[in-house]
Every structure is written in C-alpha cells, then in structure tokens.
Structure 1
Amino acid sequence: MQTLLHTADSRGHASHGWLNSYHTFSFAGYNNPQRMHFGVLRVLNDDTVAAGNGFGTHPHDNMEIISIPLEGTLEHKDSAGNHGIIRSGDVQVMSAGTGIAHSEKNHSHTEQVKFLQIWVFPNKRNVPSRYDQQTFRAEDRHNQFQQVLSPNPDDAGVWIHQDAWFHLADFDAGFEAEYQVKKPGNGVYVFVLEGDATVAGQALHRRDGFGVWDTTSFTVQGDSNTRLLLMEVPMDL
C-alpha cells in the first residue's frame, strides 16, 4: 500500500473578494509541480462564493466536471441549453467532451454558497457534451459508503467517462468500515469534509486529503462524527 497526505493548510489559496478558493492540486495562480494530480483526478477546488456572484460563462473541453454543493444553492447554465439549481445533497456532472461553455453562480442574493468543483480526465476524448444531476438521501450514507458516481449509466449515482467511483459517507465517532477498491490499479483520494477520521492508519482532520493506492482495501474510521468524500480513480493517465 502506498499513501500520500495533503493537509488542509498545505493547499493553494486564492481570495478574490467574491470568491474564496482552496486548491488541492495546481490550478490558476497556484502552480505546484508536486501537486498536479492524483491519477486522473486533476482538480479538487473547495470554493465559497459570495451572495449574488459567480463564475461567468467560460469554455471547457475533454474533461469530466463534477460539482458537489456543501451549503447554499448553485445555479448552472450552459451552451447546450441546460439550466439547473443544485443544493446540498445533490451531485452534478458535466461531460465537456467536444466542447461546452457554462456559468456557475450563487443562486442566492443573500447567502453564500460552498461547493466542491472536481475535474477528472476522461477515458474517451471528443464525446458529445452531457449534463446530469441527482439528489441523494443523507440517511443512505449514515455509517455506510453511499455511491454517488460511477462509470456505468445503469449503476447508482451519476456517471462519467472514466473508471471512477465516488462515495459519500457520514460516520459516527468510533464507527469503522472497510473500503473495497472497485477496479485493480485504481487509487482512492479521501477528502475529509467535516470532523476527524483515521484512514489506513493515518489520522485526518477537516479538509485534509489522503491518497491510497497499490491495495485492494483499507479501513476508514470516524474519530468524531465525520463526513467524507472518497474518490476512486485510475492511477494511470
């Protein structure tokens, strides 16, 4: 088993007044050659957007883009005519494929929105662009791994063009479970959303990230009431 620890305070940071963003991997003005990606996981941004503000229309291509709101409401519009509002409990995915332009804005004019923006390299280039979102029940991740993303349109959760599986989990203090890697050669990047946990023997705290690979399984324990996002991805680009 190999592991990699990224503490919360080691992330890149950008504050633009309307946007407060923490970058686990190199992004925009944060360029760290040691923090370019974890396998095909390219971007993990922890964003807070002020009320009434957001990202104007901008293009993407050949990237799988996942948005997970943590607090507040996020509004999406794109050049394919899709328009959606996503909230805490929702997961949104956009396959940029051959090219798409979109905007992401705080839907509220009175409250901030917090969300994760995640980019994953696809396993197929120049696919038709696609948009989807789903809502997931909080009770279905209590002391268990709740699958919210997979490579299979017929499986639980949204899907992307990559052999990746994402899970959310809300663990009580002292609860422990074994995560089984879905595909040989994949690694898992664990991101602590809230609380404290021990993953594969490593103590983690709020907003720490921890990569695990070259293993078929590992233990996850809540050291306090904790919320986790586990992102299983291929390690080879």
Structure 2
Amino acid sequence: RPGVEYERVREVSIIYDKGSGQFEARLVVEVKARGNHGQGRVAVDLGETVLLAAAFEDGTVLLYSGRFIKAARRYWQKVRARVKPPSQENPRMSRRFRQIARKESRQVGHLLHLATSHFIRECVQRGVKEIVIGNLTGIREGMDYGPRVNQRLHAWPYRKILHMLRYKAALVGITVRNDVEERGTSRTCHACGQVRKANRVHRGLYRCSCGWTAQADVNAALNIYE
C-alpha cells in the first residue's frame, strides 16, 4: 500500500477461491506505526444513516453519510430475493447465493474503507492523538422497531467499522478508545444534561427546552466526548 512502510514479511499464502475460480495471493507484513505528536481528541458516534459523526476539540464537525451503504444493501437484498435461500432441508448455500454475499461484502467494504480512510487523514491533519468511540456492546439488545428494521440494524457493520478505524489509526500513531458508554447519548442534551427522547425531533435534529439545538448525531458525539 502506498505510504506504508513494513519491516518484514510475516506470512505469504496463495488461496484458490472456488466462487470466482481464481487464485488469491495474501501477504501479511509487520508494519511500524508512524510517529504522532498530536495532542487533540475527537469523539465519534457511529450510526446507520450517518455512518460517522465526529466532533473535534476545535469545534469542527464531520458527518459521513451511510446512505450509499444502505442503498447497496437494499440492492443486493432485491437480487438475493430472486435466488433460492438455504433452508432446514438444504442448509448449504447455492453457488449463486455465495456469489451475491461476496459481491455485497466487497462493495460495502469498499465504501467503509473510503469513509474510514478519509476520516483518519482528517485526524492526522488536525493533530488528533486519540479517537473516542462509544461502546456499542449490547446496545442493540432489546430493540424492537419491527422485524424489517431490527434485521437491518443488527446486520449493520459496527464491528467492521471499529476494526478499520483501529488498525488505520494505529498506522499513524493514533489511539482508539472504545470504553465510553454509548447508551442514552442520543437522548441526552449536551448543554444541560436533560434526558428526554422527545428532544430528538426527527432523525437529524436535536432540540432541547434549554435552547440547545444541534444535529442529533453530533449531539450524541459531544456526549461521548465528555
């Protein structure tokens, strides 16, 4: 990868992909992290419609849309609906079903790489030393927005996003914290601390009776920042 220096090769493997009928060469190298003299922090709220909402110390806010990923998933869901799915009688996926899964994974992965790489570059330019992300462990348990929405939210790649941010940040000497409680941040007013679900007027607006108004995901990110 351009701009990445590695110290030594750890593993080389050649694998045959039955689905594509091609050989893949995989190279694992040991990379030395670049030095980072930054002192800043940035808080990140992960979501679905807004993939990343980032609040920097200097007041800068960055929003990364998740709509392209949602559109890709909807498209492949329609394609998948035309193919016979695995069943109890025949649990093995068909060749076509596996191909669809691989194509969807690659497309979504590419979009995630674009967003996370751009965000890490912004962090480097703004002198960030630490990224703070809300801990989403167990946050989807007990959610009930109906079968369709529940399935969509549970399939959202939070873990994959976090993994990408961790290793990309490590390459440029930025640490990632993921130990801040996420629960309740979207309902809590950053200005006065009032917790009220109705304050989230709609998907993109948070408005509190104290006068505080902000983009809803930014409000959540600022609460994570605390």
Q: Which TM-score band applies after superposition, normalised by the shorter structure?
A: under 0.3
TM score, norm. by length of structure 1: 0.26
Flag the structure with larger Rg: 2
TM-score when normalising by structure 2: 0.26
The structure with the greater share of residues assigned to helix is 2
Higher strand share: 1
